[in-house]
Amino acid sequence: MINLTSNYKIIPEFVLKDEEGIDFSSKNLLGKYSVVYFYPKANTPGCTIEGIDFTHLIDEFNGNVVGISPDSCNAIAGFKSKKGLKVKLLSDPEKRVAEMFGAVKDGKLIRSTYIVDPWGRIRREWTKVNVNGHAKEVLEEYKKIIAEDSAISDNIQIRRAFRGIRQDPISDEDLRTLIQAAHLAPSCMNKQPWRFTVVRSKEKLEKLYEALSGGNYWMKYAPALIVVHTKEEYGCQLSDKRNYALFDTGTAVGLLLTQATQMGIVAHPVAGYEPEKVKEVLGIDGIVITIIAVGYWGNFGILNERHLASEESPRQRLPLEEIVKFQ
């Protein structure tokens, strides 16, 4: 069920019995921020402190703390009621799940804790845990991760239509990554109507410059220009003017812009060019909806006064109330 491509480790799939002998699946961990901790033995002093400390903070963890040990269901049921624990306890008698998490060494369970996010990604882990102050430390990290995830992504808020682009090249590998990111966009009926022509040869760039409007003089410093095109018939064409070729291509460009920002690359889409000329130069047809100048930031000497000021001017946006209604 959890088949994600991620830069993080994903939790293994498992089903274990809880204190009441009921199945608890790893799927229960999806869609929420959880703590999964492995402890060696119910009712021993360290494990008792750990269970009680997590119990004291259970509301701040939104109830999502799961403790796993090799004890039997009976043993964890007794441990839970005797100590008044409010964490979910699971029985992993053969340490099979502990092993999958990496919490076993030489057959021995290593006290370990994992913060798991809504996609089942392991965001933080502790091994060879010392229980003193541990639950509190985990809570701090748990809150920090949620706060980071809840804030507007830097890849969105840092992005601006910057023009001060350095001539330093961008590797083909990095350009390819930008296109791969765009290509992961969703589209109506998965038609993937977007097409990209990445121009970085000097010869083709020189010809492309002739198609740019005068105000886009700064694009001549960009090491690559990404020409984005499509055709109406590449996308779904549904009732009530719902033509998806341009919309889906826009979504793909949205992903490309955030990926570029993450990579420290300015990606500035423009509309100021002669489309017929662009198509002629590149040998393409259809709708050329945008050209994206890409490059590294910091070359302010090339800019005219107005553009220089715009590099640091505040963003202009309609008040949020004008573009959204809640019902």
Binding to its own copies (CB under 8 A): which residues in 112-141?
117-119, 121
Count interface residues toward its own copies (CB under 8 A): 117
Instruction: Please identify, using beta-carbon distances, which residue of 50 and 248 lies nearer to its own copies.
Output: 248
CB of 108 to its own copies, least distance (A): 31
Amino acid at 75: A
Query: Which pair of structure tokens corresponds to residue 243?
Result: 């033509």
Lookup result for tokens 């274990």? 16
State which of residues 35, 131, 257, 291 lies at the interface with its own copies (CB under 8 A): 257
Bridge-based pairing state of the strands 23-25 and 15-18: antiparallel
CB of 286 to its own copies, least distance (A): 9
Instruction: Please identify, using beta-carbon distances, which residue of 92 and 117 lies nearer to its own copies.
Output: 117
Instruction: Please identify, using beta-carbon distances, which residue of 21 and 186 lies nearer to its own copies.
Output: 186
State which of residues 39, 61, 249, 294 lies at the interface with its own copies (CB under 8 A): 249
State which of residues 74, 201, 213, 304 lies at the interface with its own copies (CB under 8 A): 201
Helix (H, G, I), strand (E, B) or coil at 96: helix
CB of 74 to its own copies, least distance (A): 29
State which of residues 16, 289, 291, 294 lies at the interface with its own copies (CB under 8 A): 289
Instruction: Please identify, using beta-carbon distances, which residue of 42 and 227 lies nearer to its own copies.
Output: 227
CB of 16 to its own copies, least distance (A): 17
Instruction: Please identify, using beta-carbon distances, which residue of 104 and 278 lies nearer to its own copies.
Output: 278
**CB-based contact 15:22 (threshold 8 Å):** no
Catalytic residue among 47, 73, 188, 236: 47
47 carries an active-site annotation: yes
Q: Write the DSSP assignment of 22-84 as a string of letters.
A: -EEEGGGGTTS-EEEEE-S-TTSHHHHHHHHHHHHTTTTTTT-EEEEESS-HHHHHHHHHHHT
Neighbouring CB atoms inside 10 A of 125's CB total 16
Lookup result for tokens 């002739």? 210
> Is 3 one of the binding residues for its own copies (CB under 8 A)?
yes
Phi, psi of 14, deg, nearest 5: -160, 160
CB of 269 to its own copies, least distance (A): 6
State which of residues 64, 255, 302, 307 lies at the interface with its own copies (CB under 8 A): 255
> Rounded to the nearest 5 degrees, what angle is found at the Cα of 211, between the Cα atoms of 209 and 214?
75
**CB-based contact 71:38 (threshold 8 Å):** no
How far apart are alpha carbons 83 and 45 in whole angstroms? 11
Q: What does the per-residue mask of binding to its own copies show for 144-183, with x meaning CB under 8 A?
A: ----xxxxxxxxxxxxxx----x-x---x-xxxx-xxx-x
Neighbouring CB atoms inside 10 A of 307's CB total 17
How far apart are alpha carbons 231 and 289 in whole angstroms? 10
State which of residues 108, 132, 189, 213 lies at the interface with its own copies (CB under 8 A): 189
Q: What does the per-residue mask of binding to its own copies show for 62-101, with x meaning CB under 8 A?
A: ----------------------------------------
Q: Could you say which residues in the range 10-49 bind its own copies, by CB under 8 A? A: 27-33
> Is 202 one of the binding residues for its own copies (CB under 8 A)?
no
Instruction: Please identify, using beta-carbon distances, which residue of 55 and 230 lies nearer to its own copies.
Output: 230
Spatial neighbors of 243 by CB under 8 A, at least 6 apart, are: 232, 235, 236, 237
Phi, psi of 226, deg, nearest 5: -105, 110
Neighbouring CB atoms inside 10 A of 129's CB total 21
> Is 233 one of the binding residues for its own copies (CB under 8 A)?
no
The residues that are catalytic are: 47
